[in-house]
Structure 1
């Protein structure tokens, strides 16, 4: 916050998952520390009500909201009126949204725990995971010198996919990290998906070991053109 203020740089805080927390209190956004109107806070109802309900909201200084509203009208005219009306009706019924969020948190917490258990069973010490306190994803780190991109190539042969870590790093890092989502797959498919990643990892490790034990013969290339 101090750096943003010093260099007069706004901060865009995209916070779609803060309502999906599992333990303790809801995490406070960076916006709650904003005393100089530096943070533009964004959130959405698509993660907590329905994926097809493309209604979001923002908190920012009024002049900025006016400019952003104008740009949005240029891009897509206006947000779906029926979607906005639906969200408005739901939010006016406090018990409805509160009960829904409580069920949602319980549902996703169970799915998170299922995926963590599947990782302990099928990946064991090959992957390190810090259990998240909320959200839709697990952030995983491969142990040793295995790269996530190589594992993804092998995993696609087992008909399972994940997101590698490199796009999340601005410094070119993240080669050993990958993201697993537990929100979308059905509960019975979570363990099967992780099991397939385990199979892919063992295949990858076996091929690496074979190359180390039987390195390719060096054959001199003789050009005769």
Structure 2
């Protein structure tokens, strides 16, 4: 029987409220693709199972890159819901979609510079650590990985706090990588312009 592998959960359900341009930040052009498309291309290249947690507004964009069964659609933040929506809820939904995985890596969709080798390095660290995260020059970044033993706690996450309490509660192992992309995300239009310059230089 093939050993199960960690699943890679790409978070694409945020509102991107600090991004001022028309359209969502994840759909903005980056090279020949988009911010989300580039993040997913690197994720898919890892050959780990990829799950995208997104909203109705972005589901079509996400499903251009992964099968519809691998898109988990959650209510947008601000939508009336019995659940406390936010990053924590999105992580829980992604984990619940792949309960048989040997762990889960969490990667925000607005981090398209994170390299495939980095994702695999963090996934490998979960064989020996309950929590692992990528770091560059000692600075903590993404993805953050959680071993299968934390399933019952991950699926109970809610609200916008994410998994910070779990990272604080369990021994967390930093995986040092030569990948500054683990620290680079897109919040504003200025961030996007800097990202485009860096992406073009890397290409």
User: Whose radius of gyration is greater, 1 or 2?
Assistant: 1
Judging by fraction of residues, say which structure has more strand: 2
Give the structure with the higher percent helix. Answer: 1
TM-score normalised according to structure 1 size: 0.24
